[in-house]
Structure 1
Amino acid sequence: MINLFNAHIESLSLHKIGNKSRNEPIFLSNEPYRLNDEILPLLKEFFLKPFREKEENYYQFAHEVDLEYNEMYKFATSVFFNDDKEHTHLVSKKIAQHLFEQSNHPHIKNGEVYIAHLKNVSIDNIVTDAIGIFKSEIKSDFIQVQQKDSRLEMQLQQGTSLDKLDKGCLIFNHKPEEGYKILSIDSNRYDTRYWLEHFLSVDTFHDENYNTKKYLKFCQDFAKDIVLPAEDKKEEVMFMNRAVNHFAKNDDFEETNFLNEVLDNPDLISEFKSYKVDKGPKYSIEDLTTFPISNTAVSEARKKIKSIINLDTNVQIKINITNPDVAEQIIEKGWDEEKQMYYYLIYYHKETK
């Protein structure tokens, strides 16, 4: 989990990257950008707002041979070990040159690249520093009104909107032995491979957040593919209710305990294990049986899981996902021979507003 509220931009370098395949140039500034109190808070919000609003899906630098061969890993390490502003600026020029070398596809847009050294950022309850790399590509039209003699004149100009960052990443000085923890955003997904694979060269960071999300998504698909056909919609919903609540009340996951608690039907336990053998590699959980649980990932999953039974009579039954045991006791399913229809019997004390 990150906290960027107290983050401070220690230094900033600004460069312009063209598209190499179109013979567009690269412009590297000779010195760091001189920050002032007027623009500093605007830039901080422009750079960091997208990361506060985005799910925390972490990446890490990777290389098939060794991390030391990953250019961006070496650049980041150099800054973290020597945060002198002039040194950071020299490294920023190497980062910009590296980005330019990857900008060789016709779809890649030119734009300004901001490389910031950030202090006082918090990740996993640890205060550290980070490197932010941000690219603005899409220009917005705006009107500049000027007074000339006895009239006002309008000039149409183009510039970068502070409402939307096109691309960006935060490289946290955390877990360097694993390739650092990295967050990335990309508003223009037509060239995602260029940013993540070619420029950053990253893999997904397999931490408790990733494992929790993947395992719960696997459970959701198991409920849809196996529980629903074998039981009914109620049991599908109730299985996911029990699954999420098991994650919510435990600090660590242990698969045997999980299966015994959330699967009422013993036959489904063997079905679950077979489904995991078949589908596990798709979710990168084939060998995952124990791991620490991320409360943040559980909260995010709870919001996404639909606990609603939709009936063909245009009636919806919403089950309280926070208390599945109670839901089991107050909802019964049956078959009416006379009407030749299924029914749900719901018990309650009183209606609430």
Structure 2
Amino acid sequence: MDEPSVERLAVHRVGNLSRGERLQLSDRATEVDEAVSDLILAGYLKGIVSDKRKYQFFHESDLNQNELYHFTRQFFRGELDFLAVSQRIARHLQAHSQHPNIREGDLLVILFNGLPYGEDTQRGLGVFKSEVRDDFLTVIESANVFDVSHASGINPRLIDKGALILENGPTVYAVDRLGNQTKFWLDDFLKALRVPDTGSSSKMMVEVLDQLSDDIDDPSAQARFKDEVLTLCREETDVSPRQVAAMAEKFVPREHVSQALDNAAESYGFALDHDAGLPAQRVFKRLERTWSKVGVGHGISVLLPSELSLQGVRSSDDDEGELTLTLTLLRRPPNE
């Protein structure tokens, strides 16, 4: 099987429309020598291919109306040449660069070949925008004298914004290191949704359960909810969102459960499959770390070791303002 390689490279400069910064398109592809190719493969390609960064193009009515997906399909079918598709990608990015926090930057469009695809290989289009330049010191040798000078450039091992669009299917790997404030790279430019994996789904489930636990005001009821969830995770191989939702509805209104799931879906970029089983032990271990801090009322929390669970809280407040809390704890059997 062929090793991944860099076939073509084009560089364009994309500005911010809201600041009147113009788009500068290169009229030819860039020559790529072996040293540049090695840096791109070790930095951009290696840094973006990960299950945690797997997304899928989407459109509300027809996937072919997703502009970036449409452009790249035209290229892979041979209807657009490489420079033309790179320029269309740059124009599309410029059109969506209007948020005041979006910086001007260099856009690198890279054609990769030899990417794994089952027992075969496929091509991929890499789209990387560099918004932050790194400063370097370079040593210059002349005769017996060494001088130091300053240089500024792009670090391919530190991806600001990137995407790898694969030839076969609507899959795209994406990363947006600086996108906490705008999110335009994923939502507007790529228009892509996260493809859930076991790790991200389990983490999302834990965050939903933690939010629901915080919605339970009574410390004793909160403790019972946590014990029931942890017991379920200890006894089952897999747990589904539908199971934990049904359990949570005994403690909080159904609309709270739906809202917690909707909030998590918006944050993660995908919704949990209600009937999909998640590894119970993974969920249990995450919850055990998260739920070691237990609220006992009056704004007070205590840290409990994993072998103890809170069964009840009694409080008394005398006339002199002294508050007494009595906690009833249960020691779990060692085999749990």
1:118–1:299 CA distance, 2 compared to 1 (3 A): farther
8 A Cα contact 2:141 2:147, kept in partner? yes
Within the candidate set 237, 244, 253, 1:249 is matched to 237
What residue is the counterpart of 2:319 in the other structure?
none
Query: How far did 1:119 drift?
Result: 3.6
Aligned pair in 2 of structure 1 residues 272, 45: CA closer, same or farther (>3 Å)?
A: farther
Which residue does the alignment assign to 2:111? 116
Q: How much does 1:138 deviate?
A: 1.0
More deviation, 190-199/40-49: 190-199
Q: 1:288 to 1:39 in 2, by over 3 A?
A: closer
What secondary structure sits across from 2:57 in the alignment? Answer: strand
**What is the Cα deviation at residue 271 of structure 1?**
3.8
Local SS of the residue matching 1:292: coil
How big is the shift at 1:306?
0.8
Instruction: Tell me the SS of whatever aligns to 2:155.
Output: coil
Root mean square deviation of aligned Cα: 4.5
Shift of 1:309: 3.4
How do residues 84-233 of structure 1 correspond to structure 2 at under 5 angstroms? 87-104=81-98, 107-121=102-116, 129-173=123-167, 176=169, 180-189=170-179, 192-200=182-190, 202-205=191-194, 214-226=204-216, 229=218, 231-232=220-221
1:74 Cα shift? Answer: 0.6
Query: After alignment, is 190-199 or 73-82 more displaced?
Result: 190-199
After TM superposition, the structure 1 = structure 2 runs for residues 1-353 of structure 1, keeping only pairs within 5 Å, are 8-19=4-15, 21=17, 22-28=20-26, 30-31=28-29, 33-36=31-34, 38-51=35-48, 55-56=52-53, 58-62=55-59, 64-82=60-78, 87-104=81-98, 107-121=102-116, 129-173=123-167, 176=169, 180-189=170-179, 192-200=182-190, 202-205=191-194, 214-226=204-216, 229=218, 231-232=220-221, 234-242=223-231, 249-250=237-238, 253=240, 255=242, 268-269=249-250, 271=252, 273-277=254-258, 279-283=260-264, 290-293=274-277, 299=282, 302-303=285-286, 306-309=290-293, 316-319=303-306, 331=309, 333=311, 341-346=326-331
For residues 255 and 76 of structure 2, what CA distance do their matches in structure 1 show?
A: 46
Counterpart CA distance in 2 for 1:31 and 1:283 is 42
C-alpha distance in structure 2 between counterparts of 1:223 and 1:127, whole Å: 47
In the alignment, what sits opposite 1:322? none
Count of equivalent residues = 315
SS of residue matched to 1:40: helix
Which runs of 5 or more residues in structure 1 are unaligned?
1-5, 320-326
Which sections of structure 2, spanning at least 5 residues, go unmatched? 316-323
Deviation, structure 1 residue 7: 7.1
Aligned-partner Cα distance in 1 for 2:183–2:241: 35
What's the % identity of the aligned pairs? 16
Q: What is the one-letter code of the residue matched to 2:129?
A: K
Residues 113-170 of structure 1: CA deviation (Å, up to 9, x unaligned)? 23333543469x9975543211112112212221234422222121112441111012
TM-score normalised by L of structure 1: 0.68
Aligned AA (1:276):
V
Q: Classify 1:46/1:243 alpha carbon distance in 2 versus 1 (closer, same or farther; 3 Å).
A: farther
Shift of 1:77: 1.6
Query: Would the aligned equivalents of 1:10 and 1:119 in 2 still touch at CA under 8 Å?
Result: no
TM-aligned CA distance change 1:51 to 1:274, over 3 Å: same
Which whole-Å CA distance do the structure 2 matches of 1:140 and 1:243 have between them?
50
